[in-house]
Structure 1
């Protein structure tokens, strides 16, 4: 055991199980923990897409950590095993229920545009540059918010410092994990662009090929980066050596010799990093059938769009209608809410977002008035006018272009024995982000700035054009539902703009249709985002909706949700996907109430 590792074990011995940390690297071949999509028990719970990450989070809870400690430790582990979806090169939104104060609080860890970025940053010769070109470039890299989010969450609400919270993930990166089919396939899908960057192909394409299923993937560079981040705090990222290397990589991407791809340089500077802040935001809140639903406010559109759709759907008896009618109403409410999202929602520090009106019952009544239970409305729909004066079906404004961007993200949920709950969505945007690994650091840079609209899509009223320091609009919707002031559910999902419809589906399947949480997550999905056709998974039933005038396009998977439910008998249930992304991982601290209290 190295001196550094011995010191690390000594530091963490009072906090985390020795079995997780003490064995020297290479002492035994890593074995993937078993996957289970649902677990019910006591003492707390963790749900994520990955069994290594979930186990680390549960071990933190077992050792006395709280839901915030477990969330940060789980997220750091996902940066190891899900590096194409999340990591310290990206950002996200952290939603937290504090059992002591009985409040829901949120941290905005969204990436920001460099100060040098203007509204035409993605326009050349009067035309928007190709989307794929923008993705695989330094130009798409926003100032990352994940390290600041972790430090802020731990400082405000955790019991661990950053060093101890990162230590299990550092150990995981150093020892390695067993490659599964999802990791191999995602690497293969990105292999062409990964080969274009020397640092990326060196890390993720050993021997020039994706790692084989069953092999062990080790990321020593990331282990060392986590060690430095833990020991020195986020200053090394936002003001120090890691930041300088990040800026140099974005400004001059490490393009391999002979590559013909037009890799544009980034605009990010050390001043942009030093100026970064992960502020607390007031969450969105709507009342739905007597429950309080909290989520993320702008710059995310997740909370406002899910909330508006719930307000519309509350006017219909979803628990008693047929499955076809439920799915029809779901699609229409989604389309109406997306029309309003696209027109009005952006970074509220740059545009006037009428959030209170978008989430008002009066506005929902006007929008619900337009729904015809017997026929699909022709899409795209016009946005409403949330002006505070509501009657009938209300006025509409001009139809804008839809937003159908997708992204690869990850979501985790945690709960502890004290009643604290976290719902946390984090991302680097596309699967593989920008495709650019910071040399010697082991993590990918985001391509989050492609979440901006490249040109005006709303007839002169686009709320989501780039601007210096602006945060691009997100669809992330980490959600916590309270019943009588106490947590009932926490849910969330990856999936770009489909996050909104996935979270909405899980909520309505569980709360209205009475499905167990794991079944609400597993149910075949549709996503109507104010487009001519509904996007749907192959198993989603179409005939009944087609008879009402809906049309469809197919996609293999939509989302990869996780959730936690606090049961009436005092138990907690974690739930994850049964098959999407190879199946998720749900664990609880103990199956015994006595053991959970120890």
Structure 2
């Protein structure tokens, strides 16, 4: 996570610029950049996990850009300051509300499997390869979707030339950003594998060690990559940059003294150059009079959040009480995740029963097993998604694994346009492979595929295939009230993305918390498992005791997600909200703050 934009020598204090091959000197007493978790006002709004990225988005809004332009500018800045969570070598999902046509658009920018990848790509002698060997490898690298997503969004929905949209990120990469403790810690966690790739070590381990908080990290190679993209757009992937991506994935540049098993990938220059994002219809459910829009498959976010909300809508929060609402949220999470695991994959390759999964009738059938006093024993089977199915059980499928290193941002402008955008490179640090001379890490998103199907045949919807997008849990969400924007939110966190977005909506809509209160609430994540994950602050509370009495069991995890959101207050005013503590805290800002 990046720190405060520098650009002026006076800001540096004791810090010195560090770049490739130059050892950092820490700034004494550096406590991190200024961050505001809540901002209220008008003119436009941006909320991200990082002050530099938020400022990049605001700069574009100040210069007349719209929410789409600001979102791409902020995302490109995150590629500099949050390179372990998203960037040019990854992918994501872009959800956009257009005030002009009063419509929600979505863009699937998920990475795709190489043309040479078959369903047994992650098997060796009939058995799945070790997962860590898939993570740090070229085999897990999909064709990046982020460059095409940025170009498509700005071209189709923006109002600012791409070269101007990219300018703040180019300057940030060139001048550098101040390293904070979160960035140092994430680098240290990856130091062993980063050291095995010379280009990665040169960039992120200057002097052979993670940069200290208060030092300034520059990335001139990424600045050059961004400049080329600003001029040519995604066509840069048809040239030398695209060939460099394919070469780094197919023949990973490993240090000569490394003893790590780094498997070659299947990605070719044609795979990279041929990538295209897909504009899809959003998922849509009505909940308590609100219209909730999300991302359709290949993401499972919109369908799983939507199904859970539909299940919950069959119950009156006023009748079940606050504890009952929490109980229902966990039960709906079990049921919707069971269906997600069994049925959701890339719709170009699988017959995803999306209409059924998001129907009120199906939600009622799934809810028939819920007892307000007793928790369902998990894992529960999927429902029967066949037409006319009843309460009968369907297949049981494992949820697989998704890396938690992702990032989310939200933007809004004075014209009423809104963006909710989640992007990722999968693992913290992705594959660990930096494209030599290009300044960005490659994703390892193909590890989101199932490596094999279960004995019952479950999981086949998410097996690898040529050109296929792996299933994701990213859940960028926009909510309308009476046809006007009301909420926009999202979060990183792998499969916990779905449960965090669900909890934020439930806490705001059903429990009546303000958006900042909902953001601060201890998080729970029930993904059809015997135990529900919970943050430390949840334990010892009245809510824990009540849910435990209903049969819920909890396991402690340090942190769930790092969300950002917007609430629309009417009369052109916004409340932008970011995390106060999680992942070091985010930064929310508006163009014209209220006094």
Counting only pairs closer than 5 Å after superposition, residues 32-431 of structure 1 correspond to structure 2 as: 34-237=34-237, 239-319=238-318, 321-389=320-388, 391=390, 394-431=391-428
Mapped contact 1:412–1:423 kept (Cα < 8 A) = yes
- Match of 2:166, SS state, is helix
For 1:40 and 1:97, locate their aligned partners in 2 and report how far apart those are by CA, in whole Å. Answer: 20
- Match of 2:75, SS state, is helix
For 1:580 and 1:494, locate their aligned partners in 2 and report how far apart those are by CA, in whole Å. Answer: 11
For 1:527 and 1:105, locate their aligned partners in 2 and report how far apart those are by CA, in whole Å. Answer: 28
- Counterpart position of 1:450: 447
Detail structure 1 runs of 4+ shifted over 6 Å in the superposition. Answer: none
Mapped contact 1:253–1:263 kept (Cα < 8 A) = yes
For 1:427 and 1:234, locate their aligned partners in 2 and report how far apart those are by CA, in whole Å. Answer: 18
2:548 pairs with 546, 549, 555, which one?
546
Rate the CA distance shift 1:81–1:489 in 2: closer, same or farther, 3 A: same
Rate the CA distance shift 1:136–1:475 in 2: closer, same or farther, 3 A: same
Mapped contact 1:402–1:531 kept (Cα < 8 A) = no
For 1:395 and 1:406, locate their aligned partners in 2 and report how far apart those are by CA, in whole Å. Answer: 33
For 1:191 and 1:362, locate their aligned partners in 2 and report how far apart those are by CA, in whole Å. Answer: 51
437-446 or 266-275, which deviates more: 266-275
- Counterpart position of 1:590: 592
For 2:455 and 2:477, locate their aligned partners in 1 and report how far apart those are by CA, in whole Å. Answer: 28
Give ranges in structure 2 of 5+ residues lacking alignment.
16-31
Counting only pairs closer than 5 Å after superposition, residues 19-38 of structure 1 correspond to structure 2 as: 29=12, 34-38=34-38
Per-residue Cα deviation, 1:485-533 (whole angstroms, up to 9, x for no partner)? 1110001011110000000001111111111111111211110100111
- Match of 1:518, SS state, is helix
Per-residue Cα deviation, 1:389-420 (whole angstroms, up to 9, x for no partner)? 255xx111232223353320000000000000
Rate the CA distance shift 1:299–1:418 in 2: closer, same or farther, 3 A: same
Per-residue Cα deviation, 1:117-162 (whole angstroms, up to 9, x for no partner)? 0001000011101111100000000000000000000011101122
Per-residue Cα deviation, 1:530-571 (whole angstroms, up to 9, x for no partner)? 011111111124322222111122211111111111113431
1:46 Cα offset (Å): 0.3
Rate the CA distance shift 1:259–1:500 in 2: closer, same or farther, 3 A: same
217-226 or 320-329, which deviates more: 320-329
- Match of 1:149, SS state, is helix
User: Normalized against structure 1, the TM-score is what?
Assistant: 0.93
Per-residue Cα deviation, 1:456-508 (whole angstroms, up to 9, x for no partner)? 13722421000000000000010000111111000101111000000000111
When the two chains are superposed, the root-mean-square deviation of aligned CA atoms in Å is 1.7
User: Normalized against structure 2, the TM-score is what?
Assistant: 0.93
For 2:580 and 2:360, locate their aligned partners in 1 and report how far apart those are by CA, in whole Å. Answer: 36
- Counterpart position of 1:480: 478
1:254 Cα offset (Å): 1.1
- Counterpart position of 2:23: none
- Match of 2:461, SS state, is coil
For 1:167 and 1:417, locate their aligned partners in 2 and report how far apart those are by CA, in whole Å. Answer: 22
For 1:317 and 1:214, locate their aligned partners in 2 and report how far apart those are by CA, in whole Å. Answer: 51
1:364 Cα offset (Å): 0.1
- Counterpart position of 1:4: none
Give ranges in structure 1 of 5+ residues lacking alignment.
1-19, 594-598
For 2:385 and 2:73, locate their aligned partners in 1 and report how far apart those are by CA, in whole Å. Answer: 41
1:231 Cα offset (Å): 1.7
1:387 Cα offset (Å): 2.2
1:388 Cα offset (Å): 3.0
Mapped contact 1:343–1:458 kept (Cα < 8 A) = no
439-448 or 394-403, which deviates more: 394-403
For 2:514 and 2:60, locate their aligned partners in 1 and report how far apart those are by CA, in whole Å. Answer: 27
- Counterpart position of 1:3: none
